[in-house]
Chains A and B, each alone.
Chain A
Amino acid sequence: MAQQPNRLRPFFENISYEREDNELVVNFGPQHPSAHGQLRLMLHLQQEQIVKAHPDIGYLHRGMEKMAENMIYNEFMPTTDRMDYIASSSNNYGFALAVEKLIGLEVPRRAKVIRMMILEINRLMSHLFWLATTALDIGAMTIFLYAFREREYLMDIMEGYCGARLTHAAIRIGGVPLDIQPDFLEQLRTFLGKLPQNIKDYEDLLDENRIWRMRMEGVGYISKEMALSWGCTGPMLRASGVAWDIRKEEPYELYDEVEFRVPWSDKGDNFARYRIYMEEMRESAKILYQCIDMYEKCVRDGETELMAHAPKYISAPKLDIMTQNYSLMQHFVLVTQGMRPPVGEVYVPTESPKGELGYYINSQGGPYPYRLKLRAPSFWHTGILTDLLPGHYIPDVVSIIGTTNIVFGEVDR
């Protein structure tokens, strides 16, 4: 279905709630158990069938893009955590990468490897969370608890690294603040050793489960054209027959050095999306194994730098700050006034677990961004509900919202 930007959509105030027909208008959310945060859907129902659906957003709006205009660049980093809070490091990373592009920084290799590990751990966390909540929405509550246990291991690993479990703020502009803790690799290896069996457990419970298939197959079909015209990205797009992954198309970090496959499908329904999430978990595990090897090679080669060397923008290492006067002065300026990237604008897309997460930054040379815009994948995936839901039943609404994997921190920002 083509997108119709000019089509008039009524304001909700003008909808008459009592009419002489069979239509029932219900509010699905913002307090509905399966509304995934603060989604409000106005559903027009013909018995149980949806005739019309209006997604309504804004219940979690915090004005983050505007907040960014009044913060120095480093100050904004923890705020990005609160967008896609399921995989917060991917937001940190997108922002850091955009600023680095704006400045033209080259990040040390060891930091790149650590960043990749953090990104893939976040992807796994997000996918496990997706599986857990979607299965719970469809009624398979055991999967929910199984997947949460595995996610717990990852959260422990992240807690060991940065001290936080949900809002990591683990990435800095120009690198990473810390080296990984001594037992990080060992913990990660233990986890990766268990993961294939765990994924197999989930698949054993779901793949051949007839009820699961009845609920997923043929439900929420998105054609290729529809996916492209609604701006779908990530698993939503890949399930509709477009094998588009920014890690492959425009590689950032060291993604061009690692081997991985981009799972895709041309089925376009809920089940295809479910399969893609499962396959992506396996691919993430593969990337993580390669990252471990790359990290160990970095250690052998004696690469110890974690932050880029750019005195105008990035503070020197702590040792220099404590011992050298110039580094200290510079650190003082960078902390109190903030870095001043050159005049220019930049849009940098990254492949977050949910799709294309892009940051647009317009810098006028000052310490604050003149304009910062976030292209959040979930926002577009919420929009598609308008065209996707009509014709489905109420239980399908739940499973479709589940497989679109929308997170409202990201939609409303």
Chain B
Amino acid sequence: MDVAYLIATVVKIVIILLVFSALAGFGTYFERKVLAFMQRRLGPMYVGPYGLLQIAADGIKLFTKEDIIPANVVKPIFKIAPVITAATAFMAAAAIPFMPSFTIGGYEVKPIVSDINVGLLYIFGVMGVGLYGPLLGGMASANKWSIISAARSAAVFISYEVVTGLSILAPVMMVGSLSLIDFNNWQIENGWIVMYQPLAFILFWIAAFAETGRTPFHLVANDHEIIDGFGTEYSGMRWGLFFIGEYANMFFISFVIPLIFLGGFGEGTFVDGLLFFGKMAFFFFFFLWTRAAWPDVRPDQLMWLCWKVLMPLAVINVVITGIVMM
């Protein structure tokens, strides 16, 4: 294997890990600030200028907190569950092109760890594996609220993977590839997919809320109902890993939606790149916006929405796309 390729890949992996761990931290800061401004208050203000060092303070707190492992838990599973959540979130990033490729010193850098030909399938597969974090963590915790949360997470993730998969199927049929770079190139020629597939776009967007467990579908760790769900018995950095996983997932989904539906980074010029980050920021902001605006639904209503509304719509969408393409 080419040594340069190996080095480049390792460097990319390290950069993605560092950048997105930091971003996940900043995600909490953004969330607090955005919510605060929508709720007529200031949010974090005391640690550093405008509370910017709040993340550092939180990080120090999480790292130095005692790692409590309750008496009756299944220890190996309890310990590994948060790692699954965080690891799968970052693994999914391997097939996401974050920027257009550019050249440094005659060496072409592709800002994607691996442009595999089953990119999308890989992303959703790995994100699906992320289910095991809450599920195993909840079941191993020896806490009834965690068990309920584990059951909910299984139901929610599995149901909404159906919607995600089916809604993405129609664009995949149009593009004829699973690689996100191919998606990007197809959209340069033919225009944004959202114009052809508005329904798929909305379905995917709704499903993204369920996949990341954000507010209208904030069920898996809903602190008003089931305390902290699977995270009830966790403390310190183990709990922090769940948190990083959740926010990293939000960021990755915010990258994937514009890549699939909104033209991605287009031609790869500087303006296109800025626009791409703008789109990403909008979707991330939208996650926070909904949290400020909406209450949560009930799990049975979420299931109703999935199986009786979204899934039939997705199937119809696929069928219509197929007919039109024939």
Least Cβ–Cβ distance between B216 and chain A, in angstroms: 6
User: Does chain B have a CB within 8 A of A337?
Assistant: no
Please indicate the chain B residues that have their CB under 8 angstroms from the CB of A395 in the complex: 222, 224-225, 296, 298-299
- What residue of chain A has the Cβ atom nearest to residue B152's Cβ? A48
Within the assembled complex, what's the spacing in Å between the Cα atoms of A91 and B20?
A: 54
User: Does chain B have a CB within 8 A of A195?
Assistant: no
User: Does chain B have a CB within 8 A of A215?
Assistant: yes
Please indicate the chain A residues that have their CB under 8 angstroms from the CB of B308 in the complex: none
Residue contact A205 to B293, C-beta cutoff 8 Å: yes
**A2-10, A55-63, A138-146, A366-374 - interface stretch:** A138-146
Residue contact B295 to A145, C-beta cutoff 8 Å: no
- Select B226's contact among A141, A146, A394, beta carbons within 8 Å: A394
Within the assembled complex, what's the spacing in Å between the Cα atoms of A186 and B80?
A: 62
- Select A48's contact among B227, B295, B299, beta carbons within 8 Å: B299
- What residue of chain B has the Cβ atom nearest to residue A31's Cβ? B227
Within the assembled complex, what's the spacing in Å between the Cα atoms of A60 and B49?
A: 42
User: Does chain A have a CB within 8 A of B129?
Assistant: no
Known: A24-B147, A214-B301, A396-B298. A145 touches B293 (CB 8 A): no
Within the assembled complex, what's the spacing in Å between the Cα atoms of A396 and B299?
A: 11
- What residue of chain A has the Cβ atom nearest to residue B291's Cβ? A141
Least Cβ–Cβ distance between B110 and chain A, in angstroms: 42
Within the assembled complex, what's the spacing in Å between the Cα atoms of A205 and B292?
A: 11
Residue contact B295 to A209, C-beta cutoff 8 Å: yes
Within the assembled complex, what's the spacing in Å between the Cα atoms of A376 and B8?
A: 71
Least Cβ–Cβ distance between B161 and chain A, in angstroms: 21
Interface members, chain A 68-82 (any B CB < 8 Å): none
Please indicate the chain A residues that have their CB under 8 angstroms from the CB of B227 in the complex: 32-33
- What does the 1/0 interface line of A13-51 toward B look like (CB < 8 Å)? 000000000001010000011100000000001011000
- What residue of chain B has the Cβ atom nearest to residue A135's Cβ? B295
Interface members, chain B 210-240 (any A CB < 8 Å): 215-216, 218, 222-227
User: Does chain B have a CB within 8 A of A398?
Assistant: yes
- What residue of chain B has the Cβ atom nearest to residue A25's Cβ? B144
- Select B40's contact among A24, A47, A149, A394, beta carbons within 8 Å: A149
Residue contact B300 to A211, C-beta cutoff 8 Å: no
Known: A24-B144, A26-B145. A212 touches B295 (CB 8 A): yes
Known: A34-B225, A48-B300, A395-B225. A211 touches B40 (CB 8 A): no
Within the assembled complex, what's the spacing in Å between the Cα atoms of A48 and B223?
A: 16
User: Does chain A have a CB within 8 A of B5?
Assistant: no
Please indicate the chain B residues that have their CB under 8 angstroms from the CB of A140 in the complex: 294-295
Interface members, chain A 188-223 (any B CB < 8 Å): 205, 209, 211-212, 214-215
- How many residues of A are in contact with the other chain, CB < 8 A? 31
Residue contact A398 to B216, C-beta cutoff 8 Å: no
Within the assembled complex, what's the spacing in Å between the Cα atoms of A138 and B297?
A: 8
Interface SS of A by simple majority: helix
- What does the 1/0 interface line of B279-294 toward A look like (CB < 8 Å)? 0000000000001111
User: Does chain A have a CB within 8 A of B148?
Assistant: yes
Least Cβ–Cβ distance between A196 and chain B, in angstroms: 18
Within the assembled complex, what's the spacing in Å between the Cα atoms of A145 and B216?
A: 18
Residue contact B292 to A139, C-beta cutoff 8 Å: no
- What residue of chain B has the Cβ atom nearest to residue A139's Cβ? B296
User: Does chain B have a CB within 8 A of A136?
Assistant: yes
User: Does chain B have a CB within 8 A of A245?
Assistant: no
User: Does chain B have a CB within 8 A of A347?
Assistant: no
Please indicate the chain A residues that have their CB under 8 angstroms from the CB of B77 in the complex: none
Residue contact A26 to B144, C-beta cutoff 8 Å: yes
Least Cβ–Cβ distance between B286 and chain A, in angstroms: 15
Residue contact A141 to B39, C-beta cutoff 8 Å: yes
Please indicate the chain B residues that have their CB under 8 angstroms from the CB of A32 in the complex: 227
Known: A48-B300, A139-B296. A33 touches B39 (CB 8 A): no
Please indicate the chain B residues that have their CB under 8 angstroms from the CB of A394 in the complex: 148, 225-226
User: Does chain B have a CB within 8 A of A393?
Assistant: yes
Residue contact A145 to B39, C-beta cutoff 8 Å: yes
Within the assembled complex, what's the spacing in Å between the Cα atoms of A209 and B294?
A: 8
Within the assembled complex, what's the spacing in Å between the Cα atoms of A290 and B224?
A: 40
- What does the 1/0 interface line of A156-177 toward B look like (CB < 8 Å)? 0000000000000000000000
- What residue of chain A has the Cβ atom nearest to residue B305's Cβ? A214
Tell which of A24, A33, A141, A149 has the most Cβ of chain B within 10 Å: A141
User: Does chain B have a CB within 8 A of A351?
Assistant: no
User: Does chain A have a CB within 8 A of B151?
Assistant: yes
User: Does chain A have a CB within 8 A of B69?
Assistant: no
User: Does chain A have a CB within 8 A of B38?
Assistant: yes
Within the assembled complex, what's the spacing in Å between the Cα atoms of A135 and B292?
A: 12
Least Cβ–Cβ distance between A401 and chain B, in angstroms: 10
Within the assembled complex, what's the spacing in Å between the Cα atoms of A33 and B218?
A: 16
User: Does chain B have a CB within 8 A of A356?
Assistant: no
Within the assembled complex, what's the spacing in Å between the Cα atoms of A209 and B297?
A: 11
Residue contact B294 to A47, C-beta cutoff 8 Å: no
Known: A24-B147, A34-B225, A395-B225. A139 touches B298 (CB 8 A): no
Known: A145-B41, A393-B298, A394-B225. A139 touches B218 (CB 8 A): yes
Interface members, chain B 10-25 (any A CB < 8 Å): none
Please indicate the chain B residues that have their CB under 8 angstroms from the CB of A33 in the complex: 223-224, 227
Known: A24-B144, A141-B292. A146 touches B298 (CB 8 A): no
Known: A26-B144, A394-B148, A398-B224. A215 touches B295 (CB 8 A): yes
Residue contact B40 to A139, C-beta cutoff 8 Å: no
- What residue of chain A has the Cβ atom nearest to residue B215's Cβ? A139
- What residue of chain A has the Cβ atom nearest to residue B300's Cβ? A393
Residue contact A211 to B224, C-beta cutoff 8 Å: no
Within the assembled complex, what's the spacing in Å between the Cα atoms of A398 and B294?
A: 16
- What does the 1/0 interface line of A372-399 toward B look like (CB < 8 Å)? 0000000000000000000001111110
Residue contact B299 to A393, C-beta cutoff 8 Å: yes
Least Cβ–Cβ distance between B197 and chain A, in angstroms: 25
Interface pairs A-B: 7 shortest CB-CB: A139-B296, A139-B295, A145-B39, A140-B295, A138-B295, A395-B298, A26-B144
A-B contact pairs, 11 of them (CB 8 A): A142-B35, A142-B292, A145-B40, A145-B41, A211-B294, A211-B295, A211-B296, A212-B295, A214-B298, A215-B298, A394-B225
> What 6 new A-B contacts, CB under 8 Å, besides A33-B224, A214-B301?
A24-B147, A139-B294, A142-B35, A142-B38, A211-B297, A398-B225
Interface residues of B (CB under 8 A from A): 35, 38-41, 144-145, 147-148, 151-152, 215-216, 218, 222-227, 291-301
